Structure 1
Amino acid sequence: MTHAHAVVFAVPGKPDVLELREYELRAAGPGEITVAIEAAGVNFIDLHRRSGALEDGSPFPRSLGVEGAGRVVECGPQVRGFIPGDRVAFIDSSTGSYASHAVLPAMRAIRLPDDVPSEIAAALMFKGLTAEYLTYRCVPLEPDDWVVWHAAAGGVGSIATGWLAARGVRVIGLASTEAKRRQALDAGCFAALDSDAPGTLSFIRELTDGKGAHTVFDSVGRATVELSLASLRQRGHLVLFGNASGDVTGFNLSRLGQMGSLHVTRPSLKHYIGQNAELTTSAAQVLMALSKGLIRRPQITRLPLAMAAEAHRIMQERQTQGSLILVP
């Protein structure tokens, strides 16, 4: 048996519930591979699981982390297409990526090109897949469309806004600090505005010739939903794909008709990469966009795996720009 270690939590709570434990790694079963993790991505969904805001019913102690990258060290029976030594990334919440190793279905692994380091893959893949499904498959977007993107300098936002700009979509990035707004402009945003400033809605209306945006992408939730809705033109789309400030509750759907026959959707990545073919196609598109420069390599903040609690504090307080990763 191989001795491995992983970050787990025995009860939901604040970041200090996270602890590093040693355990015996099981052997890869039929159709499975074992990956020695070289980098693990940190995402807001991890914070929601740790705090108890997102309850999946799994037994305690629970693992954390949905994305990682590293090298295959073992292939179980019936595995085709991978051998030990291959470099892969994976998106799999069941195995936990805040760890030294992961055992997962080979069909859910993403082969990495030689020129994509594991740290880049761990910082990019979950967020890149999110950007791909949101902007290609969730809503129809055309060149010259107006898009408003909340948290434009965040992990998903910094990838998606540049990718959209490369497609000719005009993106208005919203961010809370001057440094983040400069980053949004550098990524390709048409304009970058203070998400909390009282004149933001007026600026959005002015930039869009008084009509409003075709689509708003909102990962913040309760604190920003009213601004998001007010920023849309008639028959516009609000894509609410996160709840960093809390869930949107108690909303009267009749208001959507009163505000211009608006469309609202609350998508989840798992429903867009649930099939193996969907994951493979989406990942290939992300990696191709990266190779062509349509997606920039993300700015990365690195912390040791043992500092997972500190990583959660940093993200919770919105002190990050770009992507945050843990390194075993």
Structure 2
Amino acid sequence: MAQVVSIHRHGGPEVLKYEEQDVGAPKANEVRIRQSHCGVNFIDTYFRSGLYPVQLPFVLGQEGTGKITAIGSGVTDFVVGDRVAYSTMAGGGYSSERLVDAELAFKIPDGVSEEMAAALTMKGLTAQMLLRQTFNVRPGTIMLVHAAAGGVGTILSQWGAHLGATVIGTVGSDEKASTARENGCHEVIVYSRENFAERVKELTKGELCDVVFDGVGKVTAMGSLDCLRPRGMFVSYGNASGPVDSFSMLELAKRGSLFATRPMMPHYASTRAKRIAMADEFFATLQNGSVKAPPIQQFALQDASDAHQHLESRRSTGCLVLVP
């Protein structure tokens, strides 16, 4: 039996339930993983709250790491004992042991710890999707990163700076501003006391940005549009403050024929070959030091509700993991 954290109804962190669940033997093309770390991502709160509907009961968690303990028929890429990470939108990650489709698993390369892979795999794949596919960041790009001291924001800032971009970050406090500067941001805006759109205009001497990466959502979306130069791209990839309100397409036209997109991982990492290529590129940034892991805070698996409260408080910097 495995220990899991599941929801039987939607709501706040209090609906998370620590219980046991039978794992069973792996079926064809599956592997069984004894997990050492379970990744915690903001998207987990969307499933918990009902923003992203799921069939209940549902075990939360989109990523984890550990060692393979059993292999189903048809699996040729792995052997028992391999250190692996996985990323999936199907849940099941908040568990001590689980079955995973072998198509979704990656071998963890040398020099990357299981804790690091659990905390960063989904965030790193998201950053690769945003920086390397949704908008091709290159030398000379001016990019704005909201929540630049958070998990994805930290990776976006470091990786963007490594690619030669000028990185402007927004954060909610002076403490987070220091973190953002340490992680690649050339300029940092504390949006709790500054109008970030006006400040971007000042910092860029009116040139504005080529791209805005916005994982905050509702409270920043329209201001993000005001930060873009003509034909710039608004990339909305999260809803930390709530879903983005509907707006007229004319808002894009009058600001200079802007582009707006809402990328989703399944449309970019749609095949195993694409997922492997994305993971390899991200893990390489960890191995060569161009991206350094942000602080990782551990919570016991049974304390997942505390982890969610901490995440949603907006006080956290870096990443969170659960330890079974």
Is the TM-score greater than 0.5?
yes
Kindly report which structure 2 residues correspond to 1:125-164, keeping only aligned pairs within 5 A, or say none.
Answer: 125-164=121-160
- Residue in structure 2 matched with residue 317 of structure 1 by the alignment: 313
Give the partner amino acid of 1:128.
G
Q: Measure, in 2, the Cα distance between the counterparts of 1:123 and 1:95.
A: 15
Give the partner amino acid of 2:38.
A
More off after superposition, 17-26 vs 149-158: 17-26
Give the partner amino acid of 2:31.
I
1:12 maps onto 2:10 in alignment:
yes
For normalisation by structure 1, the TM-score amounts to 0.96
1:110-159 Cα distance to aligned partner (Å, 9 max, x none) = 00123211100001100000000100000132212110100000000011
Structure 1 321/198 Cα, relative in aligned 2: closer, same or farther at 3 Å? closer
- Residue in structure 2 matched with residue 46 of structure 1 by the alignment: 44
Aligned residues: 324
Asked if the contact 1:95–1:103 (Cα under 8 Å) also holds between the matched residues in 2, the reply is: no
Asked if the contact 2:154–2:183 (Cα under 8 Å) also holds between the matched residues in 1, the reply is: yes
- Residue in structure 2 matched with residue 215 of structure 1 by the alignment: 211
1:188-244 Cα distance to aligned partner (Å, 9 max, x none) = 111011123344323211221212111001011110012101111111110010111
- Residue in structure 2 matched with residue 110 of structure 1 by the alignment: 106
1:286 maps onto 2:321 in alignment:
no
Asked if the contact 1:150–1:195 (Cα under 8 Å) also holds between the matched residues in 2, the reply is: no
Say which SS state the counterpart of residue 277 (structure 1) adopts.
helix
1:270 maps onto 2:266 in alignment:
yes
- Residue in structure 1 matched with residue 234 of structure 2 by the alignment: 238
Give the partner amino acid of 2:15.
V
Q: Measure, in 1, the Cα distance between the counterparts of 2:110 and 2:207.
A: 46
- Residue in structure 2 matched with residue 27 of structure 1 by the alignment: 25
How big is the alpha-carbon RMSD for the aligned residues of Structure 1 and Structure 2?
1.1
Give the partner amino acid of 2:226.
A
Runs of 4+ off more than 2 Å = 196-203
Give the partner amino acid of 2:21.
Y
- Residue in structure 1 matched with residue 72 of structure 2 by the alignment: 76
Asked if the contact 1:28–1:103 (Cα under 8 Å) also holds between the matched residues in 2, the reply is: yes
For normalisation by structure 2, the TM-score amounts to 0.98
Shift of 1:95: 4.7
Say which SS state the counterpart of residue 229 (structure 2) adopts.
strand
Asked if the contact 1:71–1:87 (Cα under 8 Å) also holds between the matched residues in 2, the reply is: yes
- Residue in structure 2 matched with residue 176 of structure 1 by the alignment: 172
Query: Structure 2: where are the runs of 5+ without partners?
Result: none
Asked if the contact 1:64–1:93 (Cα under 8 Å) also holds between the matched residues in 2, the reply is: no
Query: Structure 1: where are the runs of 5+ without partners?
Result: none
Give the partner amino acid of 1:38.
S
Q: Measure, in 1, the Cα distance between the counterparts of 2:110 and 2:289.
A: 16
Q: Measure, in 2, the Cα distance between the counterparts of 1:154 and 1:291.
A: 21
Say which SS state the counterpart of residue 22 (structure 2) adopts.
strand
Q: Measure, in 2, the Cα distance between the counterparts of 1:23 and 1:142.
A: 47
Identity of aligned residues (%): 37
1:228 maps onto 2:263 in alignment:
no
1:302 maps onto 2:298 in alignment:
yes
Asked if the contact 2:299–2:323 (Cα under 8 Å) also holds between the matched residues in 1, the reply is: yes
1:253 maps onto 2:249 in alignment:
yes
Q: Measure, in 2, the Cα distance between the counterparts of 1:294 and 1:255.
A: 37
More off after superposition, 206-215 vs 192-201: 192-201
